[in-house]
Chain A
Amino acid sequence: MSALRPLDKLPGLNTATILLVGTEDALLQQLADSMLKADCTSELKVHLARSLPLPCSVNRPRIDLIVFVVNLHSKLSLQSVEESLCHLDAAFFLGKVAFLATGAGRDSHCSIHRNTVVKLAHTYRSPLLFCDLEIEDFRAAMAQRLVRLLQICAGHVPGVSALNLLSLMRGSENPSLEDL
């Protein structure tokens, strides 16, 4: 099984594809539904996967953005994401990967410390988003945000590339992270 590469296939006309990776099937499905409901000029395609690598037999469109969903309540989800990261081409980390941590709202249920995910995202130089996906309003807002991100990653926004956006987002990063 080969690693997933960005820009490995011909793009569809006005199509943007996002891949959500995580062990929480129900949450991913809900997030996908919210994204498809969001207002967007491009044609959206949402793919879900429990982990990488993806089976190569399936004919799938080019993937523009990968979001790794980590549930802070489950160590398994973090472990699975960490293992999946090895099956990605390095070029994906130039703005086409984002980490999404859910469940931070209920502190008592957390079995993974927040800093662990912050460190992970920092290691892979990718943005980390926090959102309680179980709450519908938060999920809708996050879906809207991901759609905007996806449009940029798919090249549907003139003048801004994924790498461009990544360097912009880095600017807002907490400076103390450099010390980690």
Chain B
Amino acid sequence: MDRRAWQTTVQRVAKSQARLRQLSTHTRTDPKYSEFFLTRLTKIIRHMSLNQQDLDPDSTTDVEDVADAEEELVKKCEEMWKDMEECQNKLSLTGTETLTDSNAQLSLLIMQVKCLTAELSQWQKETPEMIPLNEEILVTLGKEEFQKLRNDLELVLSTIQSNNEKLKEDLEREQKWLDEQQQILESLNVLQNELKQQVVTFSESRIFNELKTKMRDIKEFKEKLLVTLGEFLEDHFPLPDRNVKKKKKNVQESTAQLITLHEMLEILLNRLFGVPHDPYVKISDSFWPPYIELLLRNGIALRHPEDPTRIRLEAFHQ
């Protein structure tokens, strides 16, 4: 089929399509299946003539076949044309009718009922039209179908590919992230080990320092205590020399130089800590007897169980 013949075919098909629309409108319903059908026929004819151009010029039988098939289709279109011509006449007779607000709803509803009933009866009467089962037509249809399928599949393929790429990128990014995290973990581990050792040495020296300061504090405290005790003793237990001398002179001929309570306690303390296995001190004349009595009565000092001339300090620290 040459180009001019093809053009006339297309024109004929277009005309028949237009008439087909008119055909279906005689019930004032829309063209439905048949119009779709005719559009499809047009497409098939177009495909077939395209195929024909691709064909090998030697294979004349194919060309003849295709021409036959096309002839058949065109014939079908011609049949529709005749039907439509009738309907066209009928349609041109119907007049127009406009609506006003007041009558709109009722008349529209009535029209709808009529049209829906007409449509229903048309659907019931109608038998689906078949595309002639010529081999060529089937081949063309199949090709069309395959083409569609191929397009769809290509679309799916490209979508999946892009998806894959995206996933790959994601994976790479995640991998990178993981590596980074591992590196961080490693360096943190190293840091932790270093710190551990540092902590050990550091804590030893710290404890040492702590102890030192504690010791110093305690020493200071002890010093303070001693000073306070000395002051206390000086204030409250002075030497009896001057006041008591006159009274005592007649009672007791004490020639020895008396020592303070402070000094007595010092001697006792030094003995207790210096010679712990034998803490007893011999009572000398320089010890003022009332003070000895004071110490003994208050349980600060103890007399030797066998030798009454010796006393020792009570071991408060034990």
Contacts and interface: CB of A to CB of B under 8 A. Distances in A.
B116 interface: yes
B109 A5 contact: no
Interface residues of A, number: 35
Contact of A91 (B10, B17, B18, B111): B111
Contacts of B30: 95, 153, 155, 161-163
B140 interface: no
B295 interface: no
A161 B36 contact: no
Contact of B99 (A7, A93, A161, A164): A93
A93 B101 CA distance: 13
Given A14-B39, A88-B99, A159-B32, A7 B22 contact: yes
B119 A2 contact: no
Contacts of A7: 21-22, 25, 91
B99 A124 contact: yes
B105 A125 contact: yes
B105 A123 contact: yes
Given A90-B111, A155-B35, A123 B101 contact: yes
Contacts of A19: none
A3 interface: yes
Given A11-B21, A13-B42, A155-B35, A90 B105 contact: no
Interface in A75-95: 85-91, 93-95
B114 to A, nearest CB: 10
Question: DSSP majority for the B interface?
Answer: helix
A93 B109 CA distance: 10
Contact of B108 (A86, A90, A161, A162): A90
A107 to B, nearest CB: 27
Given A7-B22, A7-B91, A11-B18, A87 B98 contact: yes
A55 interface: no
A155 B100 CA distance: 28
Contacts of A157: 36
Interface string B81-125: 000000000010000111111001101110110011001000000
B33 A158 contact: yes
A135 interface: no
Given A159-B32, A160-B32, A5 B99 contact: no
Interface in B18-62: 18, 21-22, 24-25, 28-33, 35-37, 39, 42
B14 interface: yes
Nearest to A9: B18
Interface residues of B, number: 37
Given A11-B21, A13-B14, A123-B105, A158 B96 contact: no
Contacts of B18: 10-11
A164 B118 CA distance: 12
Contact of B100 (A11, A86, A164, A166): A86
Contacts of A3: 96, 98
Contacts of A159: 32-33
A5 B97 CA distance: 9
A156 interface: yes
Contacts of A122: 105
Given A7-B91, A155-B30, A163-B29, A88 B98 contact: yes
A152 to B, nearest CB: 8
A99 to B, nearest CB: 13
A167 interface: yes
Nearest to B15: A10
Nearest to B17: A13
Considering the complex of A and B, which 3 residue pairs feature the smallest CB-CB distances, nearest first? Answer: A158-B36, A161-B30, A10-B18
Given A2-B96, A11-B21, A125-B109, 18 more contacts: A7-B91, A10-B22, A13-B10, A13-B14, A13-B17, A13-B42, A88-B99, A90-B98, A90-B111, A94-B112, A123-B105, A125-B104, A155-B21, A156-B39, A161-B32, A163-B29, A163-B112, A163-B115
24 contacts: A85-B99, A87-B98, A88-B99, A89-B97, A89-B98, A90-B97, A90-B99, A90-B107, A90-B108, A93-B104, A93-B108, A94-B115, A122-B105, A124-B108, A125-B104, A125-B109, A153-B30, A155-B35, A156-B35, A160-B32, A161-B30, A163-B115, A163-B119, A167-B116
